[in-house]
């Protein structure tokens, strides 16, 4: 599918591009900032942990999170563009809340070097993602569906986090 075909499928016009780009860049920057802040811990501490056999190679995480933050940005823009009134405010608050939890997970797990704290945060994050999907679905079904890969990855991350906590 070309970019033009995807834009048609999302019902995007030329006037949507500045807002869409802003939402995507915002999600990419905010989402990657905790990783930049905790990079030394990731390099020094994380390799010393006992990890389950299903742990992906380290190089997988960057591309996966980049793609997921892109999807979050597109979903955010669709809700911002199409939502109205209290329904939109609620959806955006839920989005901000779950995103804050996403950032908090990195700071808890890597920043505090605490798989236990990370596990507490990631469980709350899962609840926040589900609530955001429900709120987004009330405004734009495509926006809600764009969050499903994120939900699935965070479910996997929660299982991985729990296994690391258990093994260490």
Q: Are 91 and 135 in contact (CB under 8 A)?
A: yes
**pLDDT grade, residue 84 (50/70/90)?**
confident
Per-residue pLDDT, averaged over 80-87, amounts to 91
pLDDT score, position 83: 76
Tell me: pLDDT of 8 over 90.
Answer: no
Per-residue pLDDT, averaged over 136-160, amounts to 97
Angle between the N-to-C axes of helices 85-106 and 17-37, in degrees from 0 to 180, rounded to the nearest 10: 30
pTM of the model: 0.92
Q: Which domains does the chain have, with CATH numbers?
A: 3-167 (1.20.1260.100)
pLDDT score, position 12: 76
Give the model confidence (pLDDT) of 54-67 as tens digits: 999 999 999 999 99
């Amino acid at each position: 599918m070309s970019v033009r075909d995807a834009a048609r499928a999302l019902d995007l016009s030329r006037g949507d591009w500045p807002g869409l780009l802003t939402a995507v860049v915002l999600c990419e920057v905010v989402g990657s900032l905790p990783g930049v802040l905790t990079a030394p811990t990731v390099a020094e501490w994380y390799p010393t942990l006992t990890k389950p056999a299903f742990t992906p190679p380290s190089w997988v995480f960057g591309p996966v999170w980049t793609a997921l933050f892109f999807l979050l940005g597109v979903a955010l823009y669709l809700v911002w563009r199409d939502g109205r009134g209290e329904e939109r405010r609620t959806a955006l608050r839920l989005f901000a809340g779950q995103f804050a939890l996403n950032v908090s997970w990195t700071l808890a797990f890597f920043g505090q070097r605490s798989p236990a704290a990370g596990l507490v945060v990631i469980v709350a994050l899962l609840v926040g993602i589900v609530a955001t999907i429900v709120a987004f679905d009330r405004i734009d079904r495509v926006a809600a569906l764009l969050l499903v890969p994120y939900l699935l990855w965070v479910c996997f991350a929660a299982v991985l986090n729990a296994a690391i906590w258990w093994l260490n």
